Amino acid sequence: MAEKKFVVGSFTEENVLFEAVKKVRKAGYKLHDVYTPFPIHGLDKAMGLRDTSIHTAGFIYAAFGTTTALSFMSWVFTKDWPMNIGGKPHFALPAFIPIIFEFTVLCACVGMVLTFCYICQLAPFVKKHHFHLRATDDLFVMAIECTPKTDENEVSGFLNSAGAREINIQQAETGWWLGTYDKDKKPFETRN
């Protein structure tokens, strides 16, 4: 993977951060990401990220679970090995409901968590570049990606005027977890 350059600045206040994100987008810099110690509601919107569709994946897994459980139990009790249990019907839908429900939930949860780990590239032993160690403590760390045209000093000055502290330039190897923005050469602003 290619090495890329980033101008990194940290913020301490949410309000300053929000303003800074606006300014960066307006100026047309390539906002790589903002790293925060906790979820800040509205920041994704401010950065122009689209909504996640992980819940759609959850629905698909759930539907898979429901159909698998229902069809499997029906097949076992009507085709493969019909058992006479007190003369009750072989296809006993009400009695199948608990297992159908449990299996639906199981598939949805396991599937979603695995999907989450996959798309965020989270797994034991995964090594990633951490722009600032306090991004998991009390700082909001903004990374702006440098394109061949970017003047690093200009961006640093810009971040400084936007209220960032500890501004520095870092080299990082880009795995695809570093952002799907990698494929996108357009400036951040023009995307919705």
Partner 1 sequence: MAAFKYESQVRAPLVEGTKDYHQVTEDIIRPIEGPPSRLWWIGFIISVLLLLFGVYSVYREVTYGVGQWNLNKTIGWGWDITNFVWWVGIGHAGTLISAILLLFRQGWRTGVNRAAEAMTIFAVMCAGQFPIWHMGRVWMAFFVLPYPNTRGPLWVNFNSPLLWDVFAISTYFTVSLLFWYSGLIPDLATVRDRARVKWRKYMYGILSFGWTGSTKHWQRHESLSLVLAGLSTPLVLSVHTVVSFDFATSIVPGWHTTIFPPYFVAGAIFSGFAMVQTLLLVTRKVLHLEEYITIEHIEVMNKVIVLTGSIVGIAYLTELFMAWYGQNKYENWAFMENRLNLFSPYGWSYYLMMGCNVLSPQIFWFRKMRRNIFITFFMSILVNIGMWFERFVIIVTSVYRDYLPSSWSTYYSPSIYEVGFYLGTFGLFFTCFFLFAKFFPVIAVAEIKHILKKSGENYKPAAEKVEQQSPDTLYEEVTHHH
Interface ranges with partner 1 (CB under 8 A): 14-15, 18, 33-47, 49, 51-52, 54-55, 58, 62, 72-73, 76-77, 80-81, 83, 85, 88, 92, 95-96, 98-99, 101-103, 105-106, 108-110, 112-113, 116-117, 119-128, 130, 133-138, 141, 179
Bridge partner list, 171: 5
Distance CA 85, CA 74 (A): 15
**95 conformational bin, left if phi > 0, alpha if psi -120 to 50, beta if neither:** alpha
C-beta atoms surrounding 82 within 10 Å? 11
What sign does the dihedral 38-39-41-43 (CA atoms) show?
A: positive
In which element (H, E) is residue 158 found? Answer: helix 152-161
CA distance 50 to 192: 7
Long-range contacts of 89-94 (CB under 8 A, 24+ apart): none
Beta bridge partner(s), residue 168? 8
- The amino acid that residue 38 corresponds to is F
d(CA 19, CA 27): 12
